[in-house]
A and B are shown apart, each in its own frame.
Chain A
Amino acid sequence: MELLEVRNLSKVYKTFLLDNISFTLPEGYIMGYVGQNGAGKSTTLNLITNICKSSSGEIYVDGITCEEDESRYKESIGYIGDEFYFPDNFRIRDIRSVLRNFYKTFRTEKFDELTKRWKLDGKLAVKDFSRGMKVKLMFASVLARDTKLLVLDEATNGLDPVVRVEVLKLLQEYIADGERSVIFSTHILSDLEQIADYIYFIHEGKTVLYDAKDELLESHLLVKGERRAIYPELQRALIGIMDNAYGFEAILPSDRADLLTNEFHFEKPTIDQIVIHYIKEREG
């Protein structure tokens, strides 16, 4: 079953247009929502969490839209943002009591267990927490209740590598039962790349690529060689040719590999490399 379904989603701002985004994310999988800063990643995620209202299009989470049942829709989503969203002067116990008031499935024992395990200081106002503690607190607040979809907006930004690895483990545990899904946005893939099942790549509000990650990796090659060796047909097939003093680097769809003579070197690309060259191609 599809846990998250986005249909023809658009959002019009004065200076930015999120243009006709559509995708589905089945139960039990992780999607990486990729793009540069300002590409529209946060906008999309804010529309999913209903923090912002869409201009057109529909979003289904676990089969319902927010209009159909706002409470159930929001209960089923756990959101962790790049900005810490709890009010500055709150302490852990304030957050706990508010969450308990609002969420039917909130389990205080679970919340206490997590905050204890992560050594979050109950005496401090949350604004005095470190970035790592803030992220953990957001995780605790979300994992202490039953959600179906985790929405992470640049959640691992500014975290040290040790905490990043912990977060990855958390996400994989979250989807382990095959009934819950994760969508995360990021502009630095590297560590998150490995655990993502699907990649959605947007640039300036428009869809560039959307596929299973393994599929994307296999359908592209990273090609290197000397610039003068490129002949017209290959030139047309190459994506985002980037020159340096001694040669070039570009992406080539794997099904055009027959165009490569032995003057060229090719290897399997990373998602980052694919993204960089596609952006280069779009921006000329």
Chain B
Amino acid sequence: MKALYFAKIDYIKTRTQWYMMLSISVIVIVIMMLNNSSMVGQVNFMYGVFIAIVFSTNPFGTCTRKDMGFQQLLPATTFQRVAGRFLFGMFLLLTGIGIGLAGTAVYCVLTGKAEFVSLPMCLLTFAVGVVIITIQYMFFYLVGESKGAQLLSLVRVAPSMCFFFVSMKVIGEIQKNPTEALALLEKVGGNLEAIGWGGAVMALIVMMAGIAFCTRATAKKDY
């Protein structure tokens, strides 16, 4: 429960950025839809995840030495504090995905096209998002939460950019060679769904491990 409250603190702290994220997402998705390209659903979904990754490090950026002190004063364990941060990342991810899906739904209604969203693809994108957020958080907890601000500007965009370009590339490839992609799909066959779910579960396990790791890394640290 206290972890949830810590996530709430992160939310209040980053409230303005949160509004920014929502508006950016909406704008991006509108632009996407105007381009009228194929696989809109998939790309929207990806955008949602991308933006969540970008914003997920925000609590570290606004985390000065003194408000770290405030969080340390609260009667809770380090684990709860760290878990709260991961929960916050998770909420962002889900919000991003929600916006992506909502965008797609609006697109479908407006254009009257039936847009195809592949569940396994979404699951895998989600999994990659979770893993990237976990790695980012581990990195910040390792260097120290309050040192985040300076480092943030350097590393913030790197992981999300990688994610963005790689997934764009993948989608681009699929768009270029739909037949090959289909062939690949055939090959994996019915296992695709299993792979998607497996990936998502794996990602969540990685996140749990990340929480444990960060709790240990930060428990003995001074603010």
Q: Do the beta carbons of A79 and B73 come within 8 Å of each other?
A: yes
Contact of B67 among A52, A70, A87, A97 (CB under 8 A): A87
Q: A51-B69, A81-B66, A101-B8 are in contact. Are A89 and B223 (CB under 8 A)?
A: no
Task: For the complex, give the distance between the alpha carbons of A97 and B4 in Å.
Answer: 13
Between A49, A73, A85, A87, the greatest number of chain B beta carbons within 10 A of the residue's beta carbon is seen for A87
Q: Do the beta carbons of A85 and B73 come within 8 Å of each other?
A: yes
Q: Do the beta carbons of B67 and A94 come within 8 Å of each other?
A: no
* Extra A-B contacts (20), CB below 8 Å, given A85-B69, A87-B13: A46-B222, A51-B69, A51-B73, A51-B223, A70-B76, A72-B75, A73-B75, A74-B73, A74-B74, A75-B75, A77-B73, A83-B66, A84-B66, A87-B9, A88-B67, A90-B13, A97-B8, A98-B5, A102-B74, A103-B75
CB under 8 Å from chain A, chain B span 1-26: 2, 5, 8-9, 12-13, 15-16
Between A75, A85, A90, A97, the greatest number of chain B beta carbons within 10 A of the residue's beta carbon is seen for A85
Complex: chain B residue closest to A84, CB-CB: B66
Task: For the complex, give the distance between the alpha carbons of A51 and B197 in Å.
Answer: 41
Between B5, B62, B74, B76, the greatest number of chain A beta carbons within 10 A of the residue's beta carbon is seen for B74
A: which residues have CB within 8 A of B?
Answer: 46, 49-53, 70-75, 77, 79, 81, 83-90, 94, 97-98, 101-103
Q: Do the beta carbons of B76 and A86 come within 8 Å of each other?
A: no
Complex: chain A residue closest to B13, CB-CB: A87
Task: For the complex, give the distance between the alpha carbons of A83 and B66 in Å.
Answer: 7
CB distance from A18 to the nearest CB of B (A): 12
Could you jot down 18 A-B contacts, CB within 8 Å?
A49-B73, A51-B69, A51-B73, A53-B220, A70-B77, A71-B75, A77-B73, A81-B69, A83-B66, A85-B73, A87-B67, A87-B70, A89-B16, A97-B8, A98-B8, A101-B2, A102-B2, A102-B5
Q: Do the beta carbons of B70 and A86 come within 8 Å of each other?
A: yes
Which A residues lie within 8 Å of B2 (CB)? 101-102
- B72 adjacent to chain A (CB < 8 Å): yes
CB distance from B69 to the nearest CB of A (A): 5
Contact of A89 among B5, B15, B73, B221 (CB under 8 A): B15
CB under 8 Å from chain A, chain B span 61-114: 62, 65-67, 69-70, 72-77
Q: Do the beta carbons of B5 and A101 come within 8 Å of each other?
A: yes
CB distance from A139 to the nearest CB of B (A): 14
Complex: chain A residue closest to B74, CB-CB: A102
CB distance from B27 to the nearest CB of A (A): 23
Task: For the complex, give the distance between the alpha carbons of A52 and B8 in Å.
Answer: 24
Complex: chain B residue closest to A82, CB-CB: B66
Task: For the complex, give the distance between the alpha carbons of A199 and B200 in Å.
Answer: 59
B: which residues have CB within 8 A of A?
Answer: 2, 5, 8-9, 12-13, 15-16, 62, 65-67, 69-70, 72-77, 220-223
Task: For the complex, give the distance between the alpha carbons of A70 and B80 in Å.
Answer: 12
Which A residues lie within 8 Å of B12 (CB)? 87, 89-90, 94, 98
Task: For the complex, give the distance between the alpha carbons of A141 and B67 in Å.
Answer: 15
Task: For the complex, give the distance between the alpha carbons of A75 and B2 in Å.
Answer: 14
Which B residues lie within 8 Å of A53 (CB)? 220-222
CB distance from B150 to the nearest CB of A (A): 17
Task: For the complex, give the distance between the alpha carbons of A2 and B65 in Å.
Answer: 32
Which B residues lie within 8 Å of A88 (CB)? 62, 67
Q: Do the beta carbons of B8 and A50 come within 8 Å of each other?
A: no
Complex: chain A residue closest to B70, CB-CB: A85
Contact of B72 among A50, A73, A94 (CB under 8 A): A50
Interchain residue pairs A-B with the least CB separation, the first 5: A74-B75, A85-B70, A52-B222, A101-B5, A71-B75
Task: For the complex, give the distance between the alpha carbons of A161 and B213 in Å.
Answer: 49
CB distance from B141 to the nearest CB of A (A): 15
Q: Do the beta carbons of B69 and A98 come within 8 Å of each other?
A: no
Task: For the complex, give the distance between the alpha carbons of A46 and B68 in Å.
Answer: 12
Which B residues lie within 8 Å of A51 (CB)? 69, 72-73, 222-223
CB distance from B133 to the nearest CB of A (A): 21
Between B67, B70, B72, B223, the greatest number of chain A beta carbons within 10 A of the residue's beta carbon is seen for B70
Task: For the complex, give the distance between the alpha carbons of A86 and B63 in Å.
Answer: 11
